[in-house]
Structure formats: structure tokens, C-alpha cells
A and B are shown apart, each in its own frame.
Chain A
Amino acid sequence: MGKRKSLIKIKPKKYKDGDVVKVSFMVMHPMETGMRKDKKTKEILPALYINDIKFEYNGKLITSMKVWETLSVNPVFTTYMKINGKGKLKVTYTDSSGEVNEKTKKIKPKKG
């Protein structure tokens, strides 16, 4: 399992059950297209890009993405989700080398 740096952001930070919140997943990844040359060695930098992302909320798949190398370096993916109980949001992402990573964020709705 790789150890990439990533971040899950939920906006607003305070929410209740039933609220619809904005979810952003950001990750440091070179998203190399396989068409660029190393400036010094002049060799082609091999393709290496995130190609699959799954968002699971308390074990249920709510969103999935098929990603291409045409996304920017250090990509960000933003969507929305409805808060439906305390638990975890887990993002699992795979890249073209087969490396799998995951990032989890606790979901803690406020009472009332």
C-alpha cells in the first residue's frame, strides 16, 4: 500500500443529518501523461496517473470516478453528498501502476 498525501474536506465543517455538504478530495499525484520528457535526461517520463476513485459512506458506494491522465497534477475532485448518520467516508484511489491508497474522514453530524 502506497503512502500518498491526500486530504478530504467537507464544507461546511459543521452539519446535521439531512444536510447536503460539499465534499472535496485532494491528492498529491504527478498525473504523468507519458508524453513529457525529463528536462535533464531527455527521456520520456512514463505515464503514471490516478485512474479510479471510489467514495464509500459507511460502507455504501456513493460515487465512483474513472479518471484519465488529462486531469491536472495534484488533482482535486469535488462533489456533494447528503449526510445520513455518523460514521466514515472512505476514498479509495488506484493509479495506473496498480498502487492502491485510501483516505478516511470521520462523519460526525451535530444533534438537533
Chain B
Amino acid sequence: MKRREFLNQLGLVAAATSIVPTMSFAADAPKSKGPNALSYKAAVEAITGGKAVQTSSKVKLKVPEIAENGAVVPVTVTVDSPMTDSDYVKAIHVLAAKNGNTRCIDVFLTPANAKAMFATRIKLGETQEVVAVVELSNGTFLTAAQSVKVTIGGCG
């Protein structure tokens, strides 16, 4: 299908290193006035302390292309890592670039997890990119992002 091929190509293009993972829909101002509201850029900085974040194929982010329902969007992040005491994933952060509070969850793993994977379901207020920012035990940050189309509607 043409549209899906196009989306796949988009993923190949975004292979650059940057301080803040570049995206087409980055929003700087928080949408809402909730007490936890935090822009995408600020959220990433809070996680990385300004350190470089590298887009990496080691981070596999699984989200639907089209969310059946914006209130329950499945997200799975898997990171290729040996999860040994000297080389493991310290944290997996999930962000939603256009939500008022762009932070969804911060998961802190240990070698006892044996596999670097985390899955949950998040709320998406509108079509936007879901981003995984991963911190490794050596202090480096990796990332992967994917856009999710949120359809409006509700039959009952």
C-alpha cells in the first residue's frame, strides 16, 4: 500500500544524531494547563540532561499505525541488550510528542529483568509521534519514534 510504504521510508530517513530527536511534529508549547504539563523538548532534556540522543535500530518501538481508540494505544519497546551487570538498559522512557504532558512513563530496569522490554497502553490526545528514549548503563541515550494516527469517533 502506498501510504504504508511512504511511512516506512520516513523511518529510514531519520538516522541522525541529535540533542533532541528531530521530528516533523515537534511542539514546544504545552497544549494544556495540567500541573504535569511539559513540552516534548523539556521532557527529553529532563531525561538526558542535554546529552546527545542517537536514533538506533537497537530500539524497537511497536505502536499501531492507526489507533482504534486514542484512550488505549498499545506501546511496546524492546531494546537489543545483553542485560548483564556491565551492559544493560537502565531506563526506558516513553513520550507522546503532542500530549499536554508529553511524559507517559519512566521504567527503570536492572539486570534481573534479563530482557530489555516494556509494554503498556497510553492515551494519545491526537495524531502524534510516540517516542522511546532509552538510557544504557554506559550513560548513552538511544531513541526510536513512530507516528500514530488517532481517529476521532465513538460508536457508543
Contact = CB atoms under 8 A, between A and B. Distances in A.
A77 B104 CA distance: 12
Contact of A72 (B34, B36, B72): B72
B110 to A, nearest CB: 5
Contacts of A65: 105-108
A45 interface: no
B117 to A, nearest CB: 6
Interface size, A (range): 20 to 34
Interface string A56-96: 01001111111111111101111111101000000000000
Q: Is the interface of A mostly helix, strand, loop or mixed?
A: strand
B96 interface: yes
Contacts of A35: 32, 34, 100
A77 B117 CA distance: 11
Interface size, B (range): 20 to 34
B34 A61 contact: no
A70 B101 contact: yes
A7 B73 CA distance: 20
A91 B107 CA distance: 14
B72 A79 contact: no
B113 A78 contact: no
A35 to B, nearest CB: 6
Nearest to B69: A72
A20 B99 CA distance: 34
A82 B114 contact: yes
Interface string A22-45: 000000000101110000000000
A80 B101 contact: no
Given A66-B106, A72-B72, A73-B72, 17 more contacts: A20-B115, A34-B34, A63-B108, A64-B107, A64-B108, A68-B103, A69-B101, A70-B104, A70-B105, A72-B123, A73-B71, A77-B119, A77-B120, A78-B119, A79-B118, A80-B114, A81-B114
- Please give me the 9 A-B residue pairs with the lowest Cβ-Cβ distance, nearest first: A82-B114, A80-B115, A62-B112, A72-B121, A78-B119, A66-B106, A20-B114, A72-B72, A70-B104
10 contacts: A31-B123, A35-B32, A35-B34, A63-B112, A65-B106, A65-B107, A66-B108, A72-B121, A79-B119, A80-B117
Interface of A: 20, 31, 33-35, 47, 57, 60-73, 75-82, 84
